[in-house]
Amino acid sequence: MMRKPVRLGIIGCGLMGREIASAVLRYPHVLGTTAHPVVVAVCDTVREKMDWFTDHIPTIVQATEDYRELVANSDIDVVYAAVPHHLHHIVYTDIIRSGKALLGEKPFGIDQSANEAILTACRESPNTLVRVASEFPYFPGAVTLAEWVRSGAAGKIIEAEAGFWHASDLDPEKPINWKRQVVTNGEYGCMGDLGLHVVHLPLRLGWQLESVSAHLTQIITQRPDGSGGYAACDTWDNAYLNVRARVNDDVFPLQLSTKRIAPGHGNTWFIRVVGTEGAASFSTENPKVFRQFEFRRGLPQSWQQYDLPYRSVFPTVTGGIFEFGFSDANLQMLAAFLEEWAGNDPGPWQCVRPEEAQRSHALFTAALQSERERREVLLPLTGKEETK
Ligand SMILES: NC(=O)c1ccc[n+]([C@@H]2O[C@H](COP(=O)([O-])OP(=O)(O)OC[C@H]3O[C@@H](n4cnc5c(N)ncnc54)[C@H](O)[C@@H]3O)[C@@H](O)[C@H]2O)c1
């Protein structure tokens, strides 16, 4: 089958820029797709950051320190942007206004007003595909859980919990970086870094978030600055959000947590849904394991646990006997984005829409207010989605 070439530019050649470039290089791994991505341009203000790309990707014809040069390049179809949060607004709006499709990193604006500016650019360019990166719902366990919820197997939802936990910040000698400072990461702190990952599936499952009562904690307040001194580490480390959620006429408590300091956890993303008919849970802590409970009247109540085979939204060359990991989820997310760009409907596996990122901003902004005022804060009712 002839595949449609997609000329991709990458802005921000750090952790995530490399990850997406690696997924592009591995793209033939995905079977039956329409799009065929090729990295043709990279940009980073630090020239050496581009070396790995230019050393390994012979299709790159532009390597620039000025993102506006990449945005002006008419030989690019799609841009993936992974830059610090304070730059999202300016970089993303410039990309969208250039007419190039954008897969932008979360939180999609450092704060609510930056996010609004990005949403305005989306509304002004309704035919430009704009999506937000979020990988974890592509794990087989998350896919299975989402299908299980959609099937109605939970019955009436009693409660749900979702979280994303890290541990490396427990070390007070871990040096400061831009993600630990309000000026570059934003006032959301750990919610801006980890929060969209946590709300992606709840929002996609159609749960309305009606109010939030937040407890935000700052545990380590300064970190080594790399020059022998210490710099203020002024972002929230952990966020505990008690959300009132609704699906149809049912209201239930949804506990969301994003933690940079969760001792023992490395990149643990999880979701658990408990209902009157059944319950299910998945965590990347045990990425093969799916746990399920089915209520059977008169029988002993017990959870079942089983290993999931490798299973992906878009088929791949990998056999079912192998394990699925973050880079597989990233590849699946990229396929969802590029298939949509190529005109194929990825259905419920469509990447996060700008309106969903907007709802996450409403939640995090309300959480900041809740923490400040020590009270429950109502969230705006969800409006009709407008952008593609
Ligand atoms: N989806 C995920 O799982 C995930 C994981 C980590 C980070 N992120 C997100 O990805 C984005 C980047 O995070 P990261 O971990 O890759 O950070 P990083 O610090 O590793 O990389 C950011 C890169 O942007 C470059 N940069 C800074 N200013 C620039 C400019 N004006 N033009 C071009 N490049 C510039 C930096 O030099 C750096 O190389 C953030 O939005 C972050 O929230 C997503």
The CATH number assigned to the domain holding 307 equals 3.30.360.10
CA angle 214, 215, 216 (to 5 degrees): 110
pLDDT digits (tens, 9 = 90+) for 164-198: 999 999 999 999 999 999 999 999 999 999 999 99
Q: Is residue 383 part of a domain?
A: no
Q: Is residue 152 part of a domain?
A: yes
Q: What is the pTM of this model?
A: 0.96
Pocket probe mutation, ligand 1, options 66, 79, 83, max atoms within 8 Å of Cβ:
83
Pocket probe mutation, ligand 1, options 11, 18, 44, 47, max atoms within 8 Å of Cβ:
44
Cis peptide before 380 (omega within 30 of 0): no
pLDDT digits (tens, 9 = 90+) for 52-88: 999 999 999 999 999 999 999 999 999 999 999 999 9
Average pLDDT over residues 383-388: 41
Cβ 84 under 6 angstroms from ligand 1: yes
- Which residue, judged by its Cα, is nearest atom 18 of ligand 1? 14
pLDDT at residue 273 tops 60 = yes
- Region of residue 214 (phi > 0: left; psi between -120 and 50: alpha; otherwise: beta): beta
Q: Are 196 and 204 in contact (CB under 8 A)?
A: no
Residue 1 has what pLDDT?
62
Q: Ligand 1 mean position to 17 CA, how many Å?
A: 7
Residue 2 has what pLDDT?
73
Q: Are residues 180 and 325 in the same domain?
A: yes
CATH code (residue 115): 3.40.50.720
Count other Cβ atoms within 10 Å, centred on residue 37: 27
Cβ 351 under 6 angstroms from ligand 1: no
Cβ 265 under 6 angstroms from ligand 1: no
Total residue length of the chain: 388
Q: Which domain holds residue 18?
A: 4-132
pLDDT at residue 385 tops 80 = no
Q: Ligand 1 mean position to 81 CA, how many Å?
A: 8
pLDDT digits (tens, 9 = 90+) for 330-349: 999 999 999 999 999 999 99
Q: Are residues 150 and 25 in the same domain?
A: no
Average pLDDT over residues 204-213: 97
